[in-house]
Amino acid sequence: MTASLPITAQPDTTGADARLDAADEHVRRVALLELADQGEPDAVPRIVDLLCRDPSATVRQEAARVLAEWEQDDVVEGLCAALLDTHEAVRRAAAQSLSELKDPRSALTLLKWAGRPEPFVRASVLRGLRELRCPEAFTAAYHALDETTPAVRLEAVNVLGWLKDARALPPLTHRVTFDPEPEVRRAAASALGFASSEDDAVASALLGALADGAWQVREQAAATLGKLGVPSAAEPLIAALEDSYWQVRQSAVRALGRLRAVSAAAAVASLLRHPIGNLRKEAALALGEIGSPDSRLALEEASQDGDPEVRKSARIALAQIEQAKR
């Protein structure tokens, strides 16, 4: 006798929908999750309605969270409206869902909220616009650079960095040097990564940022100088190898490797004896990119390092130097 396969019960979405009107908020929350698990587009208007109208902040927060699975005009509009919710948890859940948007068409809905007076709304909208790379977002982000709220300026800088519009270079350069908030200065240093290596104003701002009071800014400035391949950065980056923060030293080492700065070979080789393994590894890799034959002895010693990653990096660097001779 052949055993019959069990019949898998189908979720009762009709029952879940009915329970959304229950008096108990916990019942409504469970019903909401059941509907969301089905992923049915027909359930979306009901979930948006819960986000906007349910008396329980817990249910509204859950609705804001699950709506990240759908990307359509009514969802984006509902999430934007939830940025004004009376409960912080709901506002933050809505902002998080907006930050996960991927469809550039959602930008047009977001931009309708970019002029709201509430700083949290403006920052959240800009965060949602960041990865959509919508050219129409340039104006909103450009004007937001002068906001008094650091979070708004930070998101504006990030949007401009993603857009890579040359019109943003002067104000971003200004922010690297003069913004009072370290995180905004750091973000601006990163956003300048699309500039030309021949842009003297950008290079000057980034070189100045190597002396910034915040190590995070110095670290990012070093990384961007290497990314851009600014020729005049070699000597300041060599000086940055003495920075009190190893993270700055590591970015400087990487940058010098990208620049293939032969003048830095000896200073970089000295880091092969640094107590931090990651820094020794980066120094070995940078020496391989620099390609100076004078680094061979130091790299041969590093190929016997106690850290396997350092040994591997040193051997790679030695192979690069040998290859360059041919």
The DSSP line for 59-126 is HHHHHHHHGGG--SHHHHHHHHHHTT-SSHHHHHHHHHHHHT---TTHHHHHHTTTT-S-HHHHHHHH
Q: For the segment 236-271, what is each residue's pLDDT rounded down to a tens digit? A: 999 999 999 999 999 999 999 999 999 999 999 999
Which of 14, 26, 158 has its CA nearest to residue 99?
158
3-state helix, strand, coil in the chain (%, to 5): 75, 0, 25
Of the candidates 302, 309, 276, the residue with the CA atom closest to the CA atom of residue 287: 302
Predicted confidence at residue 14, as pLDDT, reads 53
Residue of 8 and 151 predicted with greater confidence = 151
In tens, the pLDDT along 209-230 reads 999 999 999 999 999 999 999 9
Residues 123, 128, 129, 130, Cα dihedral to 10°: 90
Taking the C-alpha atoms of residue 304 and residue 311, their distance in angstroms, rounded to an integer, is 6
pLDDT band for position 38 (50/70/90)? confident
pLDDT category of residue 21 using cuts at 50, 70 and 90? confident
Quickly name the fold that domain 31-100 has: Leucine-rich Repeat Variant (1.25.10)
**Among candidate residues 105, 104, 149, 151, the one with its CA nearest the CA of residue 126:** 151
Global pTM reads 0.88
For residue 195, the tally of other CB atoms under 10 A from its CB is 23
pLDDT score recorded for residue 2: 43
Q: Give me the pLDDT at residue 60, please.
A: 96
Q: How confident is the model at residue 325 (pLDDT cuts 50, 70, 90)?
A: confident
| Domain boundaries of the chain, sorted by first residue | 31-100
Q: How confident is the model at residue 12 (pLDDT cuts 50, 70, 90)?
A: very low
**Tokens representing residue 10 in the block:** 């189908």
Task: Please write the tens of the pLDDT for every residue from 94-148.
Answer: 999 999 999 999 999 999 999 999 999 999 999 999 999 999 999 999 999 999 9
Q: To the nearest whole number, what is the mean pLDDT of the chain? A: 93
Q: Return all residues near 149 (Cβ < 8 A) that are at least 6 apart.
A: 119, 122, 123
Residue with tokens 């990012």: 220
